[in-house]
């Protein structure tokens, strides 16, 4: 067991908020090949009742990336990142993310275990806005393959 069991149940707050910009959402939408007007057209988004363009549902992964990486690359955690693959991912959207949001991500280690010799870590990251209201809860499992 390479993973540090003392990390289970702990929160790892990340101080730097993620500022959701118009161009970052447009860049992400282009990268996934999605031309939904609500991801790029500010007037269309406002007509649909949003303050600004909205982000694709999986954009949340970009929002939490730095906070999650700060935890995953922590040498004390003991995760061999060179052999890590993504096991599963789940997003619960409490409301859509839109341009102008200032989002804070707090990752938690929900579980670590060994499955078929592989180290498996399950994370939950709570994303909140400047008012502290919940925006998204992201659950992800990463697997460090032992067969490499």
Residues that bind other proteins in the complex, under the rule CB under 8 A:
24, 27-28, 30-34, 36, 38-39, 48, 50, 54, 56-58, 61-62, 65-66, 82-83, 85-93, 95-96, 139, 145, 147-148
CB nearer to other proteins: pick between 85 and 130 = 85
Strand partners, 125: 107, 138
Cα(142)–Cα(72) distance, integer angstroms: 10
CB nearer to other proteins: pick between 6 and 58 = 58
The pair of structure tokens assigned to 54 is: 């909205």
CB nearer to other proteins: pick between 4 and 50 = 50
CB nearer to other proteins: pick between 42 and 145 = 145
Distance of closest approach, residue 96 Cβ to other proteins, in angstroms? 4
Distance of closest approach, residue 54 Cβ to other proteins, in angstroms? 6
């Amino acid at each position: 067991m390479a993973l540090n069991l003392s990390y289970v149940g702990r929160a790892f707050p990340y101080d730097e908020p993620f500022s959701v910009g118009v161009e970052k959402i447009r860049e992400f939408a282009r990268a996934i090949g999605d031309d939904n007007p609500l991801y790029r057209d500010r007037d269309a988004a406002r007509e649909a009742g949003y303050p600004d363009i909205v982000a694709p549902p999986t954009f949340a992964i970009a929002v939490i990336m730095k906070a999650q990486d700060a935890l995953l690359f922590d040498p004390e955690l003991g995760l061999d990142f060179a052999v890590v693959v993504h096991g599963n991912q789940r997003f619960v959207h409490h409301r859509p993310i839109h341009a102008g949001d200032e989002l804070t991500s707090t990752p938690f280690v929900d579980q670590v275990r060994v499955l078929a010799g592989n180290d498996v870590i399950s994370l939950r990251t709570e994303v909140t806005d400047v008012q502290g209201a919940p925006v998204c809860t992201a659950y992800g499992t990463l697997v460090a393959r032992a067969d490499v």
